[in-house]
Structure 1
Amino acid sequence: MGLGQLALELIMGFFSLLLFTRLIGKTQITQLTAFDFISALIMGELLGNAIYDDNTGVVEILFAISVWGLLIFAIQLVGQKSITFRKLLEGEPSLVIKKGVIDRQALKKNRMNINEFQSLLRDKDVFSFREVEYAVLEANGSLTVLRKPEFDAPTLKDLSLKLSPKSLPILLVSDGIILDQDLLKISKDESWLKTELEKQGYVNIDNIFCAEWREEDGLFVIEKDQLINES
């Protein structure tokens, strides 16, 4: 196989897998179940074998990825319509702590020992079983925890404090470049941005690493000079 043919197959395989991942949705990455993990392994194996097989060309690679992708898509579609089929493929959550009591059978069913369970709890900033009222082991292996009232962090409502509205920050300048599309999201223009920056003493936009805007507290700017440069 020539280097040109290998490069072409790698490029085609890369973009095919990227398109496939976008089509099946974000859960493939953010909520990796056992079925998703196996699917990812098979896709990588198919592509790897196809690329380094001299008898396999671009058409065969695309065909293999397409067939496997359609199979996964069809299975996910059936899973959306059938709860039983979905549970069979993805599993279901397990209640491992109920009203402060650990369900040993649930732990055994999920083949989890006490040390692994403690590790998952520490990931949730829980360092003692006595703090937990309910704990659910999700199908993707993550743990969801509901603390006991006496160990739960108080909310603003609990403290009777005044509630302030929150908004998502919008990045307006990135590495010295003004992001016009993001300016349009807040119904502003470059002239407004430059005026606001000058009010804070920022004249040279090229020296701005990033500038984000939030409705409740305005602009927050980080200059390139403020960054730590490691040699």
Structure 2
Amino acid sequence: MKIMYLTIEIITGFFLLFIIVKFVGKKIINQITPFTFIASIVLGELLGNALYDHQIGVFYIIYSMGLWAILLFVVEYLGQKYLSFRGIVEGKPSALIKNGIVDREELRKNRMNINQLQSLLRQSETFSIREVAFCYLEANGSISILKKTKYQKTTQEDFNMSVKPVYVPVTLIRDGEVLWDEVKDLGFDEDWLRAQLSSQKVSEYKTIFLAEWLEDDGLFVQTYQ
């Protein structure tokens, strides 16, 4: 009998889950917002816990998942109808880079540091902050990037250009601290670094938020000011 009850519960839960996902929409699958991410986890937990709790019957599976589905529908409806409610549930994107400048206050508000920002940029095939005009952290944790004009993609064949070598940007100073291992790996020393900074009218390491070296484009420096 236990096998029979479990079979009925699994079939019931399967079709309920299919119907809920079908009607709630693709947002719950793509987890566009933190709310839909949590909602999808809870929905799975409701079904999983109900299936393996022998004291819970088919009625309670239908009731719990049905109630959760109704709540999801209500939230989706209110989000579509009222802009203020949508902002509370879905959140708003944060501009981490504006006009090529990293907004350290926005990083702090989103509990991010420069290392994490660089990692997200690299995952989006952007290996240097200097390439970015605007960068937004979306509600689901992904980033959207608008590159500066000269770094936007073009095909070399369109201009009959010869293929140039590709270099990886190297961070030399981060949060006022010099990464000496990186400097030495490039074959440079402190005198070279100070000369590079001096050419950009920067004298103190501690005033530098980020300094990045790119072989064919020189040193990119952003100070705290």
TM over 0.5: yes
1:92 lines up with 2:92 in the alignment? yes
- Partner residue of 2:9? 9
Shift of 1:45: 1.9
1:78 lines up with 2:78 in the alignment? yes
- Partner residue of 1:60? 60
- Partner residue of 1:183? none
Where does the alignment leave 5 or more consecutive residues of structure 1 unmatched? 161-231
- Partner residue of 2:143? 143
Shift of 1:53: 2.1
* Cα deviation digits, residues 161-185 of structure 1 (max 9, x gap): xxxxxxxxxxxxxxxxxxxxxxxxx
Q: Name the SS of the counterpart of 2:53 in structure 1.
A: coil
- Mapped contact 2:28–2:39 kept (Cα < 8 A): no
- Partner residue of 1:42? 42
Q: Name the SS of the counterpart of 1:112 in structure 2.
A: coil
| 1:1-231 correspondence to structure 2 within 5 Å | 2-154=2-154, 159=158
What is the alpha-carbon distance in structure 2 between the residues aligned to residue 18 and residue 80 of structure 1? 23
Shift of 1:116: 1.5
Q: Which aligned runs of 4 or more in structure 1 are off by greater than 4 angstroms? A: none
What is the alpha-carbon distance in structure 2 between the residues aligned to residue 58 and residue 32 of structure 1? 31
What is the alpha-carbon distance in structure 1 between the residues aligned to residue 152 and residue 133 of structure 2? 10
Q: Name the SS of the counterpart of 1:92 in structure 2.
A: coil
* Cα deviation digits, residues 41-71 of structure 1 (max 9, x gap): 2212211222122222112111111111011
The letter of the residue matching 2:39 is: S
What is the alpha-carbon distance in structure 2 between the residues aligned to residue 100 and residue 36 of structure 1? 32
What is the alpha-carbon distance in structure 1 between the residues aligned to residue 38 and residue 96 of structure 2? 26
What is the alpha-carbon distance in structure 1 between the residues aligned to residue 61 and residue 96 of structure 2? 44
TM-score, structure 2 as length reference: 0.66
What is the alpha-carbon distance in structure 2 between the residues aligned to residue 119 and residue 105 of structure 1? 19
The letter of the residue matching 1:36 is: T
- Partner residue of 2:204? none
Shift of 1:154: 2.1
Shift of 1:5: 1.0
What is the alpha-carbon distance in structure 1 between the residues aligned to residue 83 and residue 31 of structure 2? 18
- Mapped contact 2:16–2:62 kept (Cα < 8 A): yes
- CA RMSD of the aligned region, Å? 2.1
* Cα deviation digits, residues 77-135 of structure 1 (max 9, x gap): 00111111111111101111111000111111111121221111112110000010111
What is the alpha-carbon distance in structure 2 between the residues aligned to residue 137 and residue 31 of structure 1? 15
What is the alpha-carbon distance in structure 2 between the residues aligned to residue 46 and residue 72 of structure 1? 14
- Identity, in percent, stands at 46
Q: Name the SS of the counterpart of 2:63 in structure 1.
A: helix
- Mapped contact 2:29–2:40 kept (Cα < 8 A): no
The letter of the residue matching 2:111 is: R
What is the alpha-carbon distance in structure 1 between the residues aligned to residue 124 and residue 60 of structure 2? 46
Q: How many residues align?
A: 160
- Partner residue of 1:218? none
Shift of 1:31: 3.9
